[in-house]
Amino acid sequence: MVGASSLQPRLLSSFVGDRLLLSKQPHPRLFLYKPGNKHVSMQLSRTLSGLTNLLFNRRNLDEVPDAQRQRLRPGKLSPHRPVPDHIPRPPYVNSRQPPEIAGGPEVHGEKGIECMRSSGKLAAQVLRYAGTLVKPGIKTDEIDQAVHQMIIDNGAYPSPLGYGGFPKSVCTSVNECICHGIPDSRALEDGDIINIDVTVYLNGYHGDTSATFFCGDVDDKARKLVQVTEECLYKAISICAPGVEYKKIGKTIHDHADKYRYGVVRHFVGHGVGRVFHADPVVLHFRNNDGGHMMLNQTFTIEPMLTIGSTNPVIWDDNWTVVTEDGSLSAQFEHTILITKDGAEILTQC
């Protein structure tokens, strides 16, 4: 774990909790986890500070979290779920230290593209199945069990399991949980929203996707947040093509979120994905001036996280679960895409 005294440029990927990953290509932002206060902080670029930072980072602060909804609390974890020995593991398994973000983009030949399509298809099928399980009374650990079984039944490895010590096969992020929720004994309640984040490692390639689902009778405020978050994802995908600047993704997402006064979480990012779980590019979901252009046959994720209130994240003592500091709702959607000559192909869509 990296303490706040480290001043190297570091980024939080979409799946590192407070684990700070060093990219081989330095990036101009510093994301810091400060032991003791469980807050994640970030050094902003010179163009994002002061009043601009306040407006972009804290939206709808007049909105008070639903008094009838109790704040999340950690439940009990079930024992480690085994994976059959014949299923290939990613290299990071059995190491409690997550690997660095791999330098260089994931660009594939014909065989690699077919492998990415296969892993993406399985991830999409698993996510769709997991969504059918969402109902009041089911435990998030039961969702993890079902996801784990479906993945290994298809000869794949659940990528989150053992990544930097993550103890489960899927992330289940409920209500104010922004990301990286650990499945446990908590049962879903009527009116909850839950993001389920699935990644599978099949034939040496990762497919990564997530969606936010409704549990029972969900109020209009939560439904609108989820709807707009999904719209942000698809609007961002629609502008992707060879030669397009990565920064247009962030602008597209941020412009749409602004229309509804939703906050865009900055501390967690999309990423290259393929032979490795996390690679360049780092995909920012907010307005930015980062350089770089999309490449033909490249694969990466886009995964916007929107909030009704504060976008400031707080990390639980498990060093993974990230929640909004004010308890306001958060939603996320994610796809793995392939850049084609015609635009972008969604690899994680059933």
| Residues placed in the known binding site for a divalent metal cation | 197, 208, 271, 303, 334
Per residue, the 3-state secondary structure of 189-220, as one string, reads CCCCEEEEEEEEEECCEEEEEEEEEECCCCCH
Binding positions: 180, 197, 208, 271, 278, 303, 334
Helix (H, G, I), strand (E, B) or coil at 231: helix
CA distances from 208 to 54, 76, 106, 286 (A): 32, 26, 14, 21
Helix (H, G, I), strand (E, B) or coil at 12: coil
Q: Taking each helix axis from N to C terminus, what angle separates 110-132 and 140-153, rounded to the nearest 10 degrees? A: 140
Instruction: Count Cα atoms within 13 angstroms, Cβ side, for 8.
Output: 11
Is there a contact between 144 and 319 (Cβ–Cβ < 8 Å)? no
Buried-exposed string 147-158: b where 16+ CB fall within 10 A, e elsewhere: bbebbbeeebbb
| Phi, then psi, of 149 in degrees rounded to 5 | -65, -40
CA distances from 268 to 144, 265, 332 (A): 22, 7, 11
Is there a contact between 35 and 17 (Cβ–Cβ < 8 Å)? no
